[in-house]
Amino acid sequence: MARSSGPFTRKAVVDWALVGLVAFVMIGGGAAHLAAPQAFAPLVPPVLPATPVILGAGVVQFLIGLVALWPRTRAWGGLAFALLCAAYLPLHLWDYVRPDPVFAPPVATTLRVVVQGLFIWAGIVLWRRGRR
């Protein structure tokens, strides 16, 4: 069977799926943080000022989503997505040991950690593909 060429190659489809994932998660998450910051307050460690952290995270997420959509900056969007997801990972792991877990039972926390790992992987793949 001959290899396909054009806009529907396997690589092109995977690239667009990664871009769509990053853009959807970041723009949607950013909009949610900005629209309803109080919903995210339980996730912020008490040593940090919840509202500024949540609003700042929302702006950063929204910008990462936009950067991922633009072809010239897509690789940087993937890298930023991976780094932000890696930075959020300790907050997800915190649910295992905190006295008042946000996501209980431990199965929900485990799913969050696994999804976070997949997000990190997706961001790295988008970054690597975009550098070529």
SS3 20: helix
Q: Which residues of 28-46 are buried (b: 16+ CB within 10 A; e: fewer)?
A: ebbeebeeebeebeebbee
Q: What is the pLDDT of residues 81-96, one digit of tens each?
A: 999 999 999 999 999 9
Q: Which residues of 90-118 are buried (b: 16+ CB within 10 A; e: fewer)?
A: eebeebeeeeeebbeeeeebeebbeebee
pLDDT at residue 1 above 60? no
Closest CA to 25 of 71, 65, 72: 65
What is the band of 65 on the pLDDT scale with cuts at 50, 70, 90? very high
Using a cut of 0.75, tell me whether the model's pTM lies above it.
Answer: yes
Task: Give the residue with greater pLDDT, 1 vs 128.
Answer: 128
pLDDT at residue 66 above 90? yes
Q: What is the pLDDT of residues 41-51, one digit of tens each?
A: 999 999 999 99
